Chains A and B, each alone.
Chain A
Amino acid sequence: MTIDDLLKQQPLTTISEGDTSREISQVFCCDLLSVAMSKAPADCAWVTVMGNVNTLAVASLTDAACVVLAEGTVLDEAVIEQAKVQGLTVLATGEPVFDTALAIHQQLNA
């Protein structure tokens, strides 16, 4: 399943668009950056409420496929700009972390 497939089925807003043909391996949830740093699987869809520049750094270093900001988390303009420069896909939703992750998981395993 690619990010494009995800966007077709889930009501997610695109904040920053990277390579949306990228495959998603699995869903990962965590807000503590040093835990995410060691545990986020490569090519994951990382669902988090932690929306700052450090999220981008961790996503890029762990090779996450995309970041999904849940619970209405917003990014500063400068951070959005940086995500675009990095070519990182950042999506957003007002839904809770669990519901968002579950929906992506179900689509992955459908």
Chain B
Amino acid sequence: MSEQTGTSGVELKYMVSPDDFTRAGEASSKVKNILKQMGISPDVIRKVSIAMYEGEINMVIHAHGGDITVTITPEEIRMVLRDDGPGIPDVEKAMKAGYSTAPEQVRALGFGAGMGLPNMQNYTDEMKVETEIGVGTTITMSVHIEG
């Protein structure tokens, strides 16, 4: 993990380790704490927490981990989640509430409602999914800071 403050805002980088459920959610928790310390509004923190956690978990469950870059500026919180997993064959379908390919052992842990991507969509102001079969997926999300 690295943290950098520059004129363009604060940049945070995290590695998401593959198949490690015990650590999944760690990056999201760290970002949540940092936003809290920065005095960001609870509403914005909630949106970022939901969106980033869902994205982080998806990278562990559906890909082999990856990395997350979070950029905090006075205007927005931008999250870029990059993995080199299998890619998403039909993004439109994957975005539908209830659609899930989560395997049984992952469902037993409470995942697989097919609500992760819809949550990411609903709790962010911008979301872009770039994916290529066999190459990976990059999801860019932004939560705007009001006022």
- A residues neighboring B (CB under 8 Å): 31-35, 37-38, 42, 50, 52-55, 57-58, 60-62, 78, 82
Least CB distance from B44 to A in Å reads 14
Interface positions of B from 1 to 59, Cβ below 8 Å from A:
21-22, 24-26, 28-29, 32, 42, 46, 49-50, 53-54, 57
Q: Specify the main secondary structure of chain A where it touches its partner.
A: helix
Point out the residues of chain B lying under 8 angstroms from A54, CB to CB: 21, 24-25, 57, 109-111
- The answer to whether A61 touches B110, judged by C-beta atoms less than 8 angstroms apart, is no
- The answer to whether B123 touches A38, judged by C-beta atoms less than 8 angstroms apart, is yes
- B residues neighboring A (CB under 8 Å): 21-22, 24-26, 28-29, 32, 42, 46, 49-50, 53-54, 57, 109-116, 119, 122-123
Q: In the bound complex, how far is the Cα of B24 from the Cα of A55, in angstroms?
A: 11
Q: Contacts A33-B113, A58-B53; is A38 near B21 (CB within 8 Å)?
A: no
A-B contact count (CB 8 A): 68
Partner of A34, one of B21, B28, B115: B115
- The answer to whether B116 touches A53, judged by C-beta atoms less than 8 angstroms apart, is no
Q: In the bound complex, how far is the Cα of B70 from the Cα of A17, in angstroms?
A: 32
Q: In the bound complex, how far is the Cα of B74 from the Cα of A93, in angstroms?
A: 45
Point out the residues of chain A lying under 8 angstroms from B123, CB to CB: 38
Least CB distance from B22 to A in Å reads 5
Least CB distance from B51 to A in Å reads 10
**Interface CB pairs A-B, < 8 A, 17:** A32-B110, A32-B113, A34-B54, A34-B115, A34-B119, A35-B113, A37-B53, A38-B123, A42-B46, A52-B21, A54-B24, A54-B25, A57-B53, A58-B25, A60-B29, A61-B49, A62-B46
Known: A32-B111, A38-B122, A78-B22. 15 other contacts (CB 8 A): A31-B110, A33-B109, A34-B57, A34-B111, A34-B119, A37-B50, A38-B50, A42-B42, A42-B46, A52-B110, A53-B22, A54-B25, A54-B57, A57-B28, A62-B46
Q: In the bound complex, how far is the Cα of B119 from the Cα of A37, in angstroms?
A: 9
Point out the residues of chain A lying under 8 angstroms from B111, CB to CB: 32-34, 54
Q: Please name the 9 residue pairs, one residue from A and one from B, whose CB atoms are nearest each other, closest first.
A: A57-B25, A34-B115, A32-B113, A33-B110, A50-B110, A61-B49, A38-B119, A34-B116, A34-B113
